[in-house]
Structure 1
Amino acid sequence: MKSGIHPDYHEITVIMADGSEYKTRSCYGKAGDTLRLDIDPKTHPAWTGVQRMLDTGGQVAKFNKRFGGIGNIKKK
């Protein structure tokens, strides 16, 4: 490997959204820094498979009212 072209690789602490923490090696920050995650694989729907539909201000109802008939084919 060429010297002087690689980033510093050191140990940091990662704190998950639920408060659990672990140590890992990374190029993030400086040695001993802490990385706090707002979204992590234990809580985010993309990884858990559990999704919630939030209807803020009737957006879902408004969409269904406007586009609900699309795709429904009426037979004669």
Structure 2
Amino acid sequence: MQQDRHPDYHQVVFRDRAAGYAFLTRSTATSDQTIEWDDGETYPVVDVEISSESHPFYTGKARTVDTEGRIAQFVRRYGGGKDDA
């Protein structure tokens, strides 16, 4: 393996500002801001707008698209097919 070929991979805290949630993981992301974590160590912190704690898909608040209703609306508006000519 070639030396100095890969980026620095280190521990980073990602903080979701919308949910007030933070988690420690390994990443190549960097930041000038730091935070003291529960273990007493200081890590760089990256603020994110959305994470699994606030994303509607993961929180169960996702809206489902009513595809059958859209098709029925199209048929009512523009006709059903060959027999409507």
TM-score (norm 1): 0.57
Amino acid aligned to 1:8: D
d(CA) in 2 for partners of 1:46 and 1:12?
Answer: 24
Counterpart residue number, 1:70:
74
Counterpart residue number, 1:59:
none
What residue ranges of structure 2 are gaps of 5+ in the alignment? Answer: 35-42, 64-69
TM-superposed CA distance for 1:6, in Å, is 0.6
Task: Give me the identity figure in percent.
Answer: 28
Change (3 A) 1:71 1:10: same
Q: Please list, as runs of the form range in 1=range in 2, the aligned pairs for 1:22-61 lying within 5 A after superposition.
A: 22-29=23-30, 32-51=43-62
Counterpart residue number, 2:14:
14
d(CA) in 2 for partners of 1:45 and 1:71?
Answer: 31
TM-score (norm 2): 0.53
Number of residue pairs the alignment of both structures matches: 62
Amino acid aligned to 1:48: T
What residue ranges of structure 1 are gaps of 5+ in the alignment? Answer: 53-63
Higher share of residues assigned helix: 2
What is the CA RMSD across the aligned residues, in angstroms?
3.1
SS in 1 for 2:14: strand
Deviations 1:7-53 (A, max 9, x none): 0011111112311222111100159321112111122123334235x
SS in 1 for 2:75: coil
Amino acid aligned to 2:14: V
